């Protein structure tokens, strides 16, 4: 009797047990996310299978084969069809008389497997199904992309971890290793060589971690489970060994955020916010311009206004996830949908234009997501400098060839992001040839506001920078400016590292 293996990757009960085992210093959300990652890695490393025919190892020079009729554990290692996960691997398994057989492709260049970075990527996909399948060199952090550093070591944006660990020294790296948590990873990469290992447990008091990784062969046989698996599980590494082998500690951005971010929007109500709608008394919103619907913040856009935090902040990374609605109103009807995030905002509600606070604006505009404006007048004491080139009377950010220009008021115009389409049109639905935001989808705007500098990223792409700011702290305000827009995430991560 043959039975196709299609069972779930990880049972929900397993996740809950695993989460409770390392939840002491974590929020419940963080513990659950980390448990999903480690549970998947253990499951991928221990799935049992028997080849129905010999499978030559992906690199014939190793002179090894997975032998017909013998038992192996974990997905086999390959660098050909490497992006398989546990689910896709199980579609190639069949049960016969109580044993599980692999019946998929068996050639050395197309059998179903994964490698070190694919296995870690697949573990992280349990938290975010849209997480990309990264190569080891892509796992060296380059904020604010998918992977972030753990600890306070300097990256200097090298693609070689030996340079990173050498410049930082053992004491700095040791302190960083001590902050690793289950579900984080350590990565090594130089030239064309690299490896990544997932953290299952960290014992700072003993200066050691326990890892799981997919690591191929050693001396012609698999390294794990008595030469029956290309995965290792609960393998011990001291901090000294990590340093000597030039590993740097990293984390999946979403999990790191769960551990450290402040949720400005709680998904339930607007308790920690103040509304201001032009034409209405300060603090009132009788028109319902700002509302929460099914866990999402809706800004109707029907009237001009702003929703501002009650608290002021400085030195942070702000993450905003937004999606346009369909409606436009008033002077913006039929025109490019417009909104924005006002940073370092100050003053009385409605002190600027009867709707907003005085501030520096990171624009959210069709075709102009990431432009900078000053929400204020010259006498308000706000200013910012950007390295720009002049193009058709507009100032466009150009980090290499731009010359510094300072603006002090809204009337001075904007600093356009570097890819702002020169053929931009003020029409609803406009999308420039280089725009990084995705029409009709959720998009991520990240603003680093550190010291007197701001940097803006759109869906992970660096788009603009302003510096020399006179205003370096304040509230955060979301605009209503004639277009319907939705926000599902507004969160702030304290950031005390200088911006590169």
- Tokens in use for 231? 């995965």
Q: Which residue has the tokens 């075709």?
A: 367
Higher-scoring residue by pLDDT: 355, 29: 355
- C-alpha 339/C-alpha 347 separation (Å) is 20
- pLDDT at res. 23: 53
Instruction: State the chain's mean pLDDT as an integer.
Output: 92
Assess whether 121 and 214 both reside in one domain. Answer: yes
Q: Which of 229, 260, 291 is the last residue of a domain?
A: 260
Assess whether 344 and 480 both reside in one domain. Answer: yes
- pLDDT at res. 14: 34
- pLDDT band for position 281 (50/70/90)? very high
Higher-scoring residue by pLDDT: 6, 393: 393
Asked if residue 475 belongs to a domain, the reply is: yes
What confidence tens digit (pLDDT) does each residue in 347-380 have? Answer: 999 999 999 999 999 999 999 999 999 999 999 9
- C-alpha 402/C-alpha 391 separation (Å) is 11
What confidence tens digit (pLDDT) does each residue in 227-249 have? Answer: 999 999 999 999 999 999 999 99
Residue 344, judged by CB atoms within 10 A of its CB (0-12, 13-18, 19+), counts as: buried
Assess whether 256 and 269 both reside in one domain. Answer: no
Asked if residue 372 belongs to a domain, the reply is: yes
Least confident of 21-30, 205-214, 276-285: 21-30
- pLDDT at res. 144: 55
Give the mean model confidence (pLDDT) for residues 314-331.
Answer: 96
Asked if residue 500 belongs to a domain, the reply is: no
Asked if residue 78 belongs to a domain, the reply is: yes
Q: Which of 260, 287, 317 is the last residue of a domain?
A: 260
Higher-scoring residue by pLDDT: 144, 172: 172
pLDDT at 165 over 80: yes
pLDDT at 343 over 70: yes
Asked if residue 364 belongs to a domain, the reply is: yes
Assess whether 295 and 188 both reside in one domain. Answer: no
Assess whether 268 and 186 both reside in one domain. Answer: no
- pLDDT at res. 24: 59
Assess whether 272 and 246 both reside in one domain. Answer: no
- pLDDT at res. 7: 37
Assess whether 336 and 448 both reside in one domain. Answer: yes
- pLDDT band for position 143 (50/70/90)? low
Number of domains in the chain: 2
pLDDT at 20 over 70: no
- pLDDT at res. 2: 40
The CATH number of the domain where 344 resides is what? 2.60.120.560
- Torsion angle of C-alpha atoms 286, 287, 289, 295, degrees rounded to 10: 70
pLDDT at 90 over 70: yes
pLDDT at 497 over 90: no
- Tokens in use for 276? 């201001």
Asked if residue 384 belongs to a domain, the reply is: yes
Assess whether 449 and 348 both reside in one domain. Answer: yes
Assess whether 312 and 191 both reside in one domain. Answer: no
Domain region containing 471: 262-494
Assess whether 135 and 276 both reside in one domain. Answer: no
Q: Which of 243, 260, 277 is the last residue of a domain?
A: 260
Give the mean model confidence (pLDDT) for residues 134-147.
Answer: 83
What confidence tens digit (pLDDT) does each residue in 396-441 have? Answer: 999 999 999 999 999 999 999 999 999 999 999 999 999 999 999 9
Model pTM score? 0.74
What confidence tens digit (pLDDT) does each residue in 51-81 have? Answer: 999 999 999 989 999 999 999 999 999 999 8
- Tokens in use for 296? 């999402």
- pLDDT at res. 258: 83
Asked if residue 499 belongs to a domain, the reply is: no
Q: 3-state secondary structure string, the chain?
A: CEEECCCCCCCHHHHHHHHHHCCCCCCHHHHHHHHHHHHHHHHHHHCEEEECCCEECCCHHHCCEECCCCCEECCCECCCCCECCHHHHHCCEEEECCEEEECCCCCCCCCCCECHHHHHHHHHCCCCCCCCCCCHHHHCCCCCCCEEECCCCCCCCCCCHHHHHHHHCHHHHHHHHCCCCCCCEEEEEECCEEEEEEEEEEEHHHCEEEEEEECCEECCEECECCCCECEEEEEEEEHHHHHHCCCEEEEEHHHHHHHHCEECCCCCCCCCEEEEECCCCCCCCCCCCEEEECCEEEECCCCCEEEEECCCECCEEEEEEEEEEEEECHHHCCCCCEEEEEEEEECCCCCECCCECEEEEEEEECCCCCCEEEECCHHHCCCEEEEEEEECCEEEECCCCCEEEEECCHHHCCEECCCCCCCCCCCCCCCCCCCCCCCCCCEEEEEEEECCEEEEEECCEEEEEEECCCCCCEEEEEEECCEEEEEEEEEEEECCCCCC
Assess whether 379 and 485 both reside in one domain. Answer: yes
- pLDDT band for position 5 (50/70/90)? very low
Assess whether 63 and 131 both reside in one domain. Answer: yes
Asked if residue 315 belongs to a domain, the reply is: yes
pLDDT at 89 over 80: yes
- pLDDT at res. 155: 87
């Amino acid at each position: 009797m043959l039975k196709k293996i299609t069972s779930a990757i990880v049972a929900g009960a397993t996740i809950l047990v695993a989460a409770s085992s390392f939840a002491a210093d974590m929020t419940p959300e963080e513990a659950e996310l980390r448990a999903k990652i480690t549970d998947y890695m253990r499951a991928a490393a221990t799935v049992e299978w028997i080849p129905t025919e010999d499978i030559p190892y992906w690199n014939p020079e190793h002179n090894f084969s997975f032998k017909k009729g013998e038992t192996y554990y974990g997905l086999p290692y390959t660098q050909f069809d490497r992006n398989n996960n546990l689910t896709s691997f199980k579609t190639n398994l069949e049960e016969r008389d109580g044993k599980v057989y692999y019946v998929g492709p068996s050639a050395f260049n197309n059998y179903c497997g994964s490698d070190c970075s694919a296995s870690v990527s697949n573990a992280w996909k349990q938290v975010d199904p849209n997480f990309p399948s990264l190569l080891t060199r892509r796992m060296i952090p380059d904020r604010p992309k998918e992977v972030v550093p753990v600890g306070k070591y300097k990256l200097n944006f090298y693609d070689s971890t030996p340079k990173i660990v050498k410049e930082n020294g053992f004491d700095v790296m040791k302190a960083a290793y001590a902050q690793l948590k289950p579900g984080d990873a350590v990565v090594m990469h130089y030239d064309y060589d690299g490896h990544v290992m997932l953290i299952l447990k960290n014992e700072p008091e003993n200066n050691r971690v326990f890892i799981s990784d997919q690591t191929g062969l050693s001396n012609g046989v698999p390294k794990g489970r008595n030469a029956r698996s290309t995965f290792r599980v609960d393998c011990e590494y001291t901090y000294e060994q990590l340093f000597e082998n030039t590993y740097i500690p990293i984390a999946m951005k979403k999990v790191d955020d769960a551990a450290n971010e402040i949720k400005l929007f709680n998904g339930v109500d607007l308790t920690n916010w103040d509304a201001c709608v032009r034409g209405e008394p300060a603090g009132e919103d009788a028109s319902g311009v700002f509302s929460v619907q099914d866990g999402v913040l809706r800004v109707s856009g029907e009237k001009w206004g702003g929703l501002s935090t009650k608290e002021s902040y400085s030195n942070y990374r702000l993450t905003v996830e937004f999606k346009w609605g369909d409606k436009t109103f008033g002077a913006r009807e039929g025109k490019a949908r417009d909104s924005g995030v006002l940073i370092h905002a100050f003053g009385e509600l409605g002190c600027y234009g009867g709707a907003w606070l005085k501030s520096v604006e990171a624009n959210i505009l069709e075709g102009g997501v990431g432009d900078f404006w000053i929400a204020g007048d010259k006498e308000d004491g706000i200013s910012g400098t950007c390295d720009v080139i002049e193009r058709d009377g507009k100032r466009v950010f150009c980090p290499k060839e731009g010359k510094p220009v300072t603006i002090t008021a809204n009337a001075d115009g904007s600093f356009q992001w570097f890819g702002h389409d020169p053929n931009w049109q003020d029409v609803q639905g406009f999308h420039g040839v280089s725009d990084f935001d995705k029409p009709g989808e959720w998009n991520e705007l990240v603003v680093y506001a550190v010291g007197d500098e701001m940097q803006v990223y759109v869906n992970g792409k660096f788009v603009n920078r302003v510096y020399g700011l006179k205003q370096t702290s304040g509230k955060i305000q979301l605009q209503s400016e004639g277009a319907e827009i939705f926000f599902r995430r507004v969160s702030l991560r304290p950031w005390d590292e200088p911006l590169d």
